[in-house]
Amino acid sequence: MKLFLYDKFWDSFIELPKQVQKATKTFIEKFRTNPKGESLHFEHIKNLKDKNLRSVRVDQTYRAIVHQPDRGDIFHLLWIDHHDKAYRWAANKMFQWNEHTNAYQVYETNEVSESLPKNTNDSTLKVEDTSNFMESYSQEQLLKIGVPEILIPSVHQINDLDDLEKMQSHLPEDVFENIFTLFDGGDIELLIEQVQEGMQTVDVGEDDHSANNQRFFMQITAEDNLDEILSEDFKKWKVFLHPSQRKLVTSDYKGPIKVTGGAGTGKTVAAMHRAKYLLNKSSQSRILFTTYTRSLTANLKKDIKTLGIQPSQLRIENIDSVASDIARGEGIIPSDAKIIYNNSDDYKKLWEEVLEQNLSKYDADFLASEYLDVVLWNNVQDDKTYFRTPRTGRQNRLNRKERKDVWEVIAAYQQYSTKEGYFLKEEVMNKLANHYSSTEIKPFDHVLADEIQDFSNAELRFLRSIVKEECNDLFLVGDPLQNIYGKALNFSKCGINIRGNRSKRLKVNYRTTEEIRRMAVSCIKGVTFDNFEGEEEKKNGYVSLIKGTKPTYKVFKTPEEEHKEITSQIIESIKNGELDYKEICISAYKNDDLKDLRKALHKESIPYFELGNNTGDKEGVNISTFHNMKGLEFKAVFITKISKGTYPYKPYRFNDWDISKQKKMIANQKSLLYVAMTRAIAYLNISGVGERIEEL
């Protein structure tokens, strides 16, 4: 007997009262032990479209909807709800095996075509010349991308994205995604190829173990711990992977792989499953899983445990700590060396002290940025290399004599900072890269890196050097749209070849609703982002399969009015049971912008927790800057101080900066707002004082 759990069953289970959840676990235990036992009370439901759907009694009030085959012993748990609601859910549902995708599908068959308007002119996501758009695809093509034959006449009536959204509830999720891709300019033949790849299965005769089917259905075996699977802490990403994710996770590559995708597309999830795959292949593998910050590292350690991986099985650490530890351990820098950052007062002070002893027509700011953006970015080791190195992005042109003068001061800086015991982080990364590039002895067999858009060339060069160039060496994931530090990356200059088939893209957003996703993308309209290969990253091609509440954007006359609105919404959401305090985050660009809001929360007796320094009530509302929200998610997000005059934030003497520096600052802030907005799962509320900004 096989028993499969539909991912929507888990969604409905989580909404049940606690005592019903307990009864459901008892019911499932009975079911997988003896599915034909008399105590289960299988009941036929009248007037169902699918005659194989059954109601099974969980208790006096709640019913589970199960698909029972005409013959054989493969059962599927599809939904659980109050008696009447469960029956309504099942009324028009069809559950069928699709031989074109090697997957089961759940969809509705009531007269969907009648709900489609004959002409729509109000679409905000219109494609050019959408007249009879879906009719341009043949029945054979639509079947191959998963459209059930009975739905093809209705699908042929879809003329634009408004029509598609109206029909979304009637379509299998994979079909909705595929049709959206076609409207977004996707190629039908490429889609068919991807569907056919997902049809493959490792086990002969086990078609229901295909990647396409495992996206929505999980087999419950005797070894599975039901208490773990059916718990509030269970994460769907532990089991249900998109076929594109599963292929990334379980393929063997002859070199580096780069995975990009918008916020919430499951990049980190794929990397964690990849770590488990590599450990399963060889438990003795030396694996480094790194990311940019300590807070993201802490999240990785917590989440990876849910996959049954103990942190002791691999090294999970942020890249700065890894580099510092190895550099000191290998004697590349002294054990008491002070590693500093390029935005620190120490770095600027060192340059000023060097200039006191070395006359130059260039000031400390120019020399510090020249050293960082040209010398360290390109890992320049001597004056001859510096003379011929392109100074891409630098404003002032330098002739050979001027470059010679600049290099003399740079050499003086290197000598002085080393004598004083200071090493810039990028210097350490380059020293490590130079060391390991000259030896066959490497500290790791595999390296996985998350949030690579935050890394610099020096850090990528370091990662390349600490693992041999061979099968499954580097697995690098990130989102160019979240490049909040304005880092310029060039993989080829770091010895990492990720062009062509070594670059993969995840497109389905699993975190936010489609409404939130669209609003977030609107705030970065007009900003170009590099895709890590010298080309522009596309902002289209992403879709969320989750529909929800439209985000709000309000401006007020005074800060007091804005704070009153935020606290009132929180109090109301808690009162009606819609949210818990810890599911909410209030954020702003700067910590100072939250000062008065803290007072408003205190006045209303709303508990809160500071994400930046981990203080306060852990069960309370989260308070955070945009930066500290990175990598996290919350059911509801409130973003404050967004209006003309406060956004984008302009530092002191901003108007004295050159145009390129101003543009970079504004682009970084738009990217940062995008990051903050995409932390929201279900509710997004943006507010400010004064005049609305046009971007939203």
Alpha-carbon separation of residue 498 from 258, 448, 475, 492, 502 (angstroms): 6, 14, 10, 8, 5
Residue 80, SS3? strand
Residue type, 400: R
User: Does 421 count as an annotated binding residue?
Assistant: no
Residue 503 φ/ψ, nearest 5 degrees: -115, 125
DSSP state of 693: P
- H/E element holding 42? strand 42-44
User: Does 262 count as an annotated binding residue?
Assistant: yes
User: Does 263 count as an annotated binding residue?
Assistant: yes
Residue reference for tokens 């450990």: 279
Task: For residue 512, give both structure tokens.
Answer: 């936010």
Residue 161, SS3? helix
User: Does 185 count as an annotated binding residue?
Assistant: no
Residue type, 25: K
User: Does 264 count as an annotated binding residue?
Assistant: yes
Burial tier of 605 (Cβ tally within 10 Å: 0-12, 13-18, 19+): exposed
Of the candidates 254, 220, 222, which has an alpha carbon nearest to the alpha carbon of residue 239? 220
The per-residue DSSP string of 140-159 comes to HHHHHTT--GGGHHHHTT--
Torsional sign, CA 568, 570, 575, 577: positive
Q: Please tell me the distance from the alpha carbon of residue 275 to that of residue 270, in angstroms, as a whole number.
A: 9
Residue 244, SS3? helix
In terms of phi and psi (left: phi > 0; alpha: psi -120 to 50; beta: otherwise), the region of 541 is left
User: Does 590 count as an annotated binding residue?
Assistant: no
Task: For residue 32, give both structure tokens.
Answer: 């997988």
Residues 6+ apart with CB under 8 A from 619: 580, 581, 582, 607, 609
Torsional sign, CA 297, 298, 302, 308: positive
User: Does 548 count as an annotated binding residue?
Assistant: no
Separation of CA 307 from chain center: 18
Residue 627, SS3? helix
Q: Please tell me the distance from the alpha carbon of residue 479 to that of residue 271, in angstroms, as a whole number.
A: 13
User: Does 255 count as an annotated binding residue?
Assistant: no
CB atoms within 10 A of CB 466: 22
Helices marked H in 54-138: 83-90
Residue 573 β-bridge partners: none
For the annotated binding site, the residues are 261-268
For the annotated binding site for ATP, the residues are 261-268
